[in-house]
Amino acid sequence: MRIPTAIRTTGLCALVLALGLTLASATPSYAVSDSGPYTVFADQSGRCLDVFNWDTSDSAAIVQWECTWAMNQRWFLRGGLHGTAYAFTIRSAHTNKCLQAGPPVSPIVQRTCDGNNAWQLWLLGSSRRWSSAYSFVFYGSTSPACLVQPGMNNGDRWVLGWCNGSSGDTMFRLMNAGFLQ
């Protein structure tokens, strides 16, 4: 049985609207393409997300460092539907490993990627202040937990912390070949 185009289009629009309303509480953003690599630039410190000391091991520290645009500061975002949310893994271009969270206020590390591991899934929250700024919201938490910076210096470790939508939340800009995305 062939479904008329008008009904298919209406049904698809309704599905997209329902999915959008379901995901609205996480404030995800789909402006970022499923590509890269990106340099992840923190607005507050002016520093970049970095695999410390070019370490290739599981549990390597993820720190902020002056932006050098080197491969240990380049990241791929790969998205997919997980339950009702469009979640991303954040994979290092240098090690091919993913950012992995732990309990709140624990440091973020890199681990071998497993696309079904909730500890490695992130949502992109959009900024109310800038259209090109995002927060990384941890997918696996029942409370809003975000990737946050504990300080402003080179070598400060990134941690999983509480996000509340305020101007104090860490906001990131994604740069691809030196251009804001």
- Summarised one tens digit per residue, pLDDT across range 100-134 is 998 888 899 999 998 778 889 988 776 554 456 77
Domain range enclosing 147: 28-180
* CA-based nearest residue to 38, from 89, 77, 78, 96: 77
CA dist., res. 36 & res. 22, Å (int) = 27
Give the CATH number for residue 161: 2.80.10.50
- 76 within some domain: yes
Q: Which amino acid, one-letter code, is at 48?
A: C
- 80 within some domain: yes
- Identify any residues that bridge with 98 across adjacent strands, giving them in sequence order: 91, 111
- 19 within some domain: no
- 82 within some domain: yes
Q: What are phi and psi of 24, to 5 degrees?
A: -60, -35
Do 149 and 155 meet the contact criterion of CB atoms below 8 Å apart?
no
Is residue 129 exposed (0-12), middle (13-18) or buried (19+ Cβ within 10 Å)? exposed
- 124 within some domain: yes
pLDDT of residue 132: 63
- 3 within some domain: no
pLDDT of residue 42: 87
SS3 35: coil
- 9 within some domain: no
Number of domains present in the structure of the chain: 1
pLDDT, the chain, mean: 75
- 12 within some domain: no
Q: Whose structure tokens read 């251009």?
A: 179
On the question of pLDDT at 61 being above 60, the answer is: yes
Is residue 1 exposed (0-12), middle (13-18) or buried (19+ Cβ within 10 Å)? exposed
